[in-house]
Structure 1
Amino acid sequence: MQKFSVDTGTLFTINTKTKKLYSGDDEIMDISSSFTPQKMEFMRAGGSYQIVFGKKLQTFAASTLKMDIPKVFAPFKEISNKNQGLTAVEKIFNKNALGTSGKILHAGSYTRVKVNIVGSQDTTGLMTSQELEMMAAKVISPTIDGAYQSGCHTASVWDIASQENIPKLMRFMNDFGLITGRDPNNKYHPLTDVIHKVLNDLTVDDWSIIIGGDSHTRMSKGVAFGADSGTVALALATGEASMPIPESVKVTFKGNMQDHMDFRDVVHATQAQMLKRIWWRECISR
């Protein structure tokens, strides 16, 4: 039995009692660490959507009735280090956190947060639209500040598949409430700007949390996360996302940015310098 590669058609069994993965009678590995309280809750509910929308309704009802949120759902992991300051990322998460115990949260915590900006990518947007249809969502969450459906990936490769699928995607997302790279009513020319630039133009708040489909996350303000089509759909429908608070590193730039540059170039420069330092350290260690 292969343990590091899987043949197409291989059948696996997850035993929820022993919390192990099997192929027939052969035990492949222990997966108990994957059975978090939240995932167990998803299993009992028959899916994650039921829990996500249940929490959304509960939070709204408790806020409307001006009462504390009843502890019905599995609690998220909260890490609060006494007398420890906050990074910029931790401050943004604490400002946007939903349904927490009220503690100051540090990196390593897992929490629900309000999402401000959402970007859907055109090559995976069709899956996002399918997810929205599956959850019977009809309109974008009113708590979202802005959302964009890109058309930049297919703009230069306008093949037969794109010609068939992208107009349908743009119509769906436009009706749903997003700004779309192509106007289904042909009132403006197709927008060819890459999704990174458009999201940066939309992101006007230093405290924003941005969800970008398929790693489209190079933002000049706030904190951004790449996401799969399902997470993008949930963010569009609920204005929320659940995620861990990441560790972060402060990077300071000095001087003036050249006219021909935008913030994406700054991000690339940061990565290039980090990789160069890592490479140099490896050379020294050898």
Structure 2
Amino acid sequence: MQTPTPIPTPIPIPGFGEPLRISGRYGSWDAVRAELDEHGVTVLHARLADWRPGRVPGPRLRTLLGRDWARYLDLTHPDVRARFAASRILLKFAAAAAVEVAPEAVELAYHLTGRPYLRGIDAVDISLSHTDELLVVGLSSRGPIGVDAERGDRDLYGCGLADHFCTPHELDSLKILQPQRRNPELLRLWTLKEAYTKATGLGLRFPFTDFGFRTPDGQGGVRRRDGTPATGPEWSFRTSYVDDAYVLSTAVRDTGFGTTRDRSAHTMLDEALVDALVSALDEEAEESGPDDEDW
């Protein structure tokens, strides 16, 4: 009689660190690369003021935004335009640090669902979020990543929104919490769901009332409507409180291929193409002036 093959014990997926604060274009990009090397994941948060383009767009802004330039011009509200541009600039600087190229060489593209990705570079997955004065960028070499943030003082529970995006199990769990804990817990659940659906690429096509997380600690991954587990150890989640004002959640799926340590674009792209691109960017930088502070 043949001895059955034993089922291997699942190896816990390593976690990832707390979000890193990036104060500007000259921020701690070495720390970003170090986080990716160690965890395969890094999440950055920044203030809008540090990345807001000037009132009069500089020549570098159009180059940095690339295909997003037309979308930027179509936005009419000044604050919306500023957040749109600043979030893309931060994302390009972060991705550039990860793959070791100039920010202008990073090209963003979008899936049909609107989910952004790095065109021509599949070693790093990306996600972004912005709300109020906060910008958030997620990078992962382990697999898909999603990030989301909300103001910590936003009232969701008092407005009755829990019924519209919580599972029956989550609603029951919220009701037994002390009243002062219900809104903070609901904010955590909301941002986790946003982050998870961004990572899966489904967005709002996956109704928030159809999946949830355990309360109050949120451990154990995604849960079905009745509270039973729906995902395995391939998913990692984290919720943090940043800048003393915002709830930030991250969802990462490990594809099982390990962390990609060689993320350099030079090893993924044709060397002649990279040299030509760098040369063209150098020429454009000379025409635009040295390091235009107003983008």
The bucket for the TM-score relative to the shorter chain is under 0.3
Task: State the TM-score, normalizing by the size of structure 1.
Answer: 0.27
Structure ranking higher on relative contact order (CA contacts 8 Å, 6+ apart): 2
Task: State the TM-score, normalizing by the size of structure 2.
Answer: 0.26
- Say which one has the larger Rg: 1
